[in-house]
Amino acid sequence: MSDDELSVSKGSKGNLKKEFEGLIHQQLNSQHQQIREAFKRMVSMIVDSYSARQALEALKDPIKKDSGLIQLKGLSILGALVKNTGHDFHVELATKKWMDRLIKLARSTRDERVRDKVLQLMVDWANQFQLQLQLDEFSIALHRLKAKGIELPPPTEKGKPRHRRTKSNQEKGATATAGTEGPSTSLELLLTNIQADVSNLELGLQSQEMLQEGIAEECRKHLQKIQVILSTDLPDQAMYEFINLSDQLHELLGLYDAVYTDSTPEGHALDREVSEMKKLDMQIREEQELKARKERELEDLTLELQSAQEALRAATDAARLRSLSGPRNEKDKRVHDMLTQVVSNCANVKQAAVDCKIKMQEEKAKMLQENARFLKELEENLMEFPTLVEKAKIGESKAFLLLKKLYTIEVNTRKKLYNKLQELRGNIRVYCRVRPLSAKEKAGPGGDSIMSYPADGEIVVREPGGMGKTRAFEFDTVYNDTASQEEIFEDTKPLINCVVDGYKVCIFAYGQTGSGKTYTMQGPHENPGINRRALQRLFDLVEERKEVEKCVVSVSVLEIYNETIRDLLCDKMDDKVKYEIKTHPLDGQYVENLVNFPVTSIQHIDQYMAKAEKNRSSGRTNMNEHSSRSHMVLYVVVRNTNLQSGVTTVGKVSLVDLAGSERVGKSGATGDRMKEAQAINKSLSALGDVISSLSRNDSHTPYRNSKLTHLLKDSLGGNSKCLMFVNVSPASYNCNESINSLQFAFRARGVVLGTAKKNVEQPKIEVPHVRQ
Ligand code: ADP
Ligand code: MG
């Protein structure tokens, strides 16, 4: 540091000391408000400018002073600074010099209070900082005092915790301190009471129900009481407790006034009007007083004039008499003329005064009239205020109701139109999706797509080989290999809307292994397929309609493998649990004992799908192989209650990723492979049979021929909506399987299921038994 810098720094430190001296002076001689401000300022200076040493320097004199009271106050400040500053201050104080100074004071003072105070502080510090190495001077000082045979007080109890007390423990606090003797007992009691009221006021500010009657008034009284107490000589601990409380009370009462006095715009407007009115009233009164004074002055003036006139008249008469009795000289004549002039002047002044009085009276009457009119207007306006506010409120709620009604109408119209369209189209809708060629397929022989799309909804398969035979198929929609997951879902979305309206919906993907079924239904995490998007759509609808409907969405995930149902969301696979398909009058088909979870967000779904994936693969050596040999069903139930009518509907969507449709093991398959192939053949041909039966409109449809058709019974026929994705590969080596799939799907497209119906909840129907 250069000399200049040093002198600047010394200079500024010197200034700091002076500032501290000023602040200490304020604390020693002022009222509590200034004391508090000065103390706060001292603490922040010490902490912000690292000026503990200067503060202590400034405290030296007051503590040395002869006057006991000043010394006591100085010591109080010292004690409070130890409590309210930090380590730097403690280090500066824990020096031999300061301890010598205090020991000397304790031994030399004649004032017992000063001695007790010093000893108490030193005992407390030694006790508080006994484990801090840098502050061991406190403990050493205590030993020195003991060695000198000075009797030491016990350490004071640790400061009470700052948390507030409630009414109930306020009583506890009161009894706990009741045994203590001396003035601190009543102070403690008072502190406890005030703290309780402060905390009650705070509660009242958090919620109006908790607001105790009269608590704010009580607290205002406390505030006054504290102000009185703070002007007396207090132990420093108590002083700072009270200062703290007074701060809190100020703040809370300010908040109370802001919260519980009318702070609405209408309230402000009324307040403004009323204060404006008061102001005007005051002005009018002042003016009236002024006028009255002026009138009084005028009357006095008139009286004076009258007496002057009378005096003049008497003088004139005397003069006239005098002139009659003797010869009239020049001087008398002049006097006479002058007097006549004065009399006429006086008459003029009198007339002017009268005119002025009349004018003022006129003005006063005019003003009074004006004021009366203004007051009347004001009164009318004020009377209209509440009605206007009320009207605005009613208008607002009417608009809201209208909006709600319009929304309901809009939703219903949309529902009706879509259902009409679906009915016209027939209820099994078939979408065909062709996956892109894989890189390997492109690179291999015949790496061209055998698919072409001559028109919307049409697909043509060119059979490989010399003849180049073509087969054309028509579906509701055909997606070529460039269609995105979003586009696919866009067309599926309306079906999902139906689920919230209480319809049963089934969406399944059919096709050979590797044709893109899982991609379409589940999709990769970063580009999800129908399952995840459908659930997201459901959540969006639930949110959109929450004003009018309360929806609960729940999911189950199951697998049908070798004609056995496995619960993919249960915690522990248990072969003993029986998963039987049952029928419920409202919910339709359901699986007994299947775990079922309510879901509210897409994150939930991700968790459950991950769990299902884990359960599905457990105990499987070749997962890909296994997943293509089993059907996976994501089963979503939406229970929807209309908040106005109270009617509940149950909608359901089964999202099915079917096993591969290829004919496996037609020859040579044995063991497990043969069993699997038989199971798949059974379920897919059962699906085909059901679809054929529905298309022929048979009186009996063989749903029970497989677990899959049995489970999907209510979603395939009758009052349901069904969408089938037929997934095909564009590669020439898959040609036969692709044609098989397309033929199957084409047959399905002819099925008309009849008019779909909502599933409206009847009273007293039990919810099917599910495991939670
Ligand atoms: P499947 O479920 O019928 O066995 P997958 O869905 O597993 O068939 O699809 C087989 C392969 O083709 C996977 O690697 C998949 O990522 C890919 N795939 C399928 N459909 C598409 C598509 N539309 N776009 C891109 N890749 C696809
Ligand atoms: Mg698959």
Gap between the Cα atoms of 451 and 444, Å rounded: 17
Q: What is the pLDDT of residue 180?
A: 36
Candidate from 435, 522, 616, 737 with most ligand 1 atoms within 8 A of CB, to mutate: 435
- Asked whether 98 and 64 are in contact (CB, 8 A), the reply is no
Where residue 502 falls (left for φ over 0; alpha for ψ -120 to 50; beta otherwise) is: left
**For residues 170-180, b (16+ Cβ closer than 10 Å) or e, as one string?**
beebeeebeee
Gap between the Cα atoms of 474 and 400, Å rounded: 48
CATH code for residues 427-619+627-736: 3.40.850.10
Q: Structure tokens of 675? A: 């069993």
The DSSP output letter for 660 is P
Q: How many A from CA of 492 to the centre of ligand 1?
A: 19
Single-letter code of the amino acid located at 686: A
Gap between the Cα atoms of 205 and 203, Å rounded: 5
CATH code for residues 3-147: 1.25.40.90
Q: How many A from CA of 480 to the centre of ligand 1?
A: 13
Q: Which among 33, 80, 29, 30 is positioned nearest to 55, based on CA atoms? A: 80
173 band by pLDDT with thresholds 50, 70 and 90: very low
- Asked whether 241 and 226 are in contact (CB, 8 A), the reply is no
Query: Given a cut of 70, is residue 181 above it in pLDDT?
Result: no
Reported as type and span, the H/E element at residue 65 is none
Closest ligand to C-alpha of residue 523 is: 1
Angle between helices 136-147 and 112-128 (to 10 degrees): 130
Q: Structure tokens of 192? A: 């406890």
Domains 3-147 and 427-619+627-736 agree in fold? no
Query: Given a cut of 80, is residue 616 above it in pLDDT?
Result: yes
Ligand 1 atom nearest 512 alpha carbon: 3
Segment 144-169 mean pLDDT: 63
Q: What are the pLDDT digits (tens) for 271-308?
A: 555 566 667 667 777 877 887 888 888 888 888 888 87
Where residue 120 falls (left for φ over 0; alpha for ψ -120 to 50; beta otherwise) is: alpha
Gap between the Cα atoms of 677 and 550, Å rounded: 45
Q: What is the pLDDT of residue 177?
A: 34
Gap between the Cα atoms of 541 and 546, Å rounded: 8
Reported as type and span, the H/E element at residue 643 is none
Q: What is the pLDDT of residue 407?
A: 66
Q: What is the pLDDT of residue 412?
A: 65
Range with lowest mean pLDDT among 122-126, 392-396, 595-599, 676-680: 392-396
Range with lowest mean pLDDT among 527-531, 667-671, 713-717: 667-671
Q: How many A from CA of 624 to the centre of ligand 2?
A: 8
DSSP strands (E only) in 265-382? none
- Asked whether 583 and 759 are in contact (CB, 8 A), the reply is no
pTM greater than the 0.85 cutoff: no
Q: What is the pLDDT of residue 169?
A: 38
Range with lowest mean pLDDT among 213-217, 289-293, 345-349: 345-349
Q: What is the pLDDT of residue 393?
A: 67
Q: Structure tokens of 396? A: 């607002």
Segment 364-387 mean pLDDT: 74
**What are the residue boundaries of the structural domains of the chain, listed by start?**
3-147, 212-262, 265-303+341-422, 427-619+627-736
Q: Structure tokens of 707? A: 């677990």
- Asked whether 152 and 133 are in contact (CB, 8 A), the reply is no
Gap between the Cα atoms of 470 and 454, Å rounded: 12
Winning range, highest mean pLDDT, from 439-453, 528-542, 635-649, 667-681: 528-542
pLDDT above 70 as % of the chain: 79
Gap between the Cα atoms of 768 and 679, Å rounded: 28
Where do we find the tokens 């109080």? 76
β-pair partners for 582:
590
Coil, helix or strand at residue 657: strand
Secondary structure, 3-state, 404-472: HHHHHHHHHHHHHHHHHHHHHHCCEEEEEEECCCCHHHHHCCCCCCCEECCCCCEEEEECCCCCCCEEE
Gap between the Cα atoms of 115 and 112, Å rounded: 5
Coil, helix or strand at residue 239: helix
Q: What is the pLDDT of residue 597?
A: 94
Task: Give ∠ CA 268-270-273 in degrees, rounded to 5.
Answer: 110
Q: What are the pLDDT digits (tens) for 653-665?
A: 999 999 998 876 5
Closest ligand to C-alpha of residue 510 is: 1
- Asked whether 509 and 521 are in contact (CB, 8 A), the reply is yes
Coil, helix or strand at residue 721: strand
Angle between helices 32-49 and 215-230 (to 10 degrees): 80
Segment 367-388 mean pLDDT: 73
pLDDT above 90 as % of the chain: 25
Candidate from 485, 519, 527 with most ligand 1 atoms within 8 A of CB, to mutate: 519
Q: How many A from CA of 628 to the centre of ligand 2?
A: 5
- Asked whether 199 and 169 are in contact (CB, 8 A), the reply is no
Gap between the Cα atoms of 263 and 25, Å rounded: 43
Q: How many A from CA of 435 to the centre of ligand 2?
A: 13
- Asked whether 741 and 469 are in contact (CB, 8 A), the reply is no
Single-letter code of the amino acid located at 655: L
Residue 355: CB atoms within 10 Å:
10
The DSSP output letter for 703 is G
Instruction: Give residue ranges with CB within 6 A of ligand 1.
Output: 435-436, 511, 513-519, 628, 727
Q: How many A from CA of 516 to the centre of ligand 2?
A: 7
Q: What are the pLDDT digits (tens) for 16-75?
A: 888 898 888 888 877 666 777 888 889 889 888 888 999 999 998 888 876 777 888 888
Gap between the Cα atoms of 451 and 435, Å rounded: 10
643 vs 171 pLDDT, higher one:
643
559 vs 373 pLDDT, higher one:
559
Query: Given a cut of 60, is residue 13 above it in pLDDT?
Result: yes
Query: Given a cut of 70, is residue 351 above it in pLDDT?
Result: yes
Where do we find the tokens 């299902």? 612
C-alpha separations of 430 from 666, 725, 726, 738 in Å: 28, 6, 7, 15
Could you list the residues known to form a binding site, using ranges: 511-518
552 band by pLDDT with thresholds 50, 70 and 90: very high
The DSSP output letter for 732 is G
Reported as type and span, the H/E element at residue 745 is helix 735-749
Ligand 1 atom nearest 515 alpha carbon: 3
Ligand 1 atom nearest 727 alpha carbon: 3
Gap between the Cα atoms of 329 and 327, Å rounded: 6
Q: Structure tokens of 716? A: 């395939």
Query: How many helices (H) and strands (E) are present in the chain, helices listed first?
Result: 24, 14
Where do we find the tokens 């006028």? 291
Could you list the residues known to form a binding site for ATP, using ranges: 511-518
Ligand 1 atom nearest 624 alpha carbon: 4
Reported as type and span, the H/E element at residue 689 is helix 671-696
Q: What are the pLDDT digits (tens) for 91-104?
A: 999 999 999 999 99
β-pair partners for 633:
558, 656
Q: Which among 222, 235, 346, 365 is positioned nearest to 291, based on CA atoms? A: 365
Segment 123-130 mean pLDDT: 87
Measure CA of the first residue to CA of the last residue in the chain; give whole Å: 76
Q: What is the pLDDT of residue 742?
A: 93
Nearest CA to ligand 1 atom 17: 516
Q: What is the pLDDT of residue 772?
A: 37
Residue 476: CB atoms within 10 Å:
16
Where residue 67 falls (left for φ over 0; alpha for ψ -120 to 50; beta otherwise) is: beta
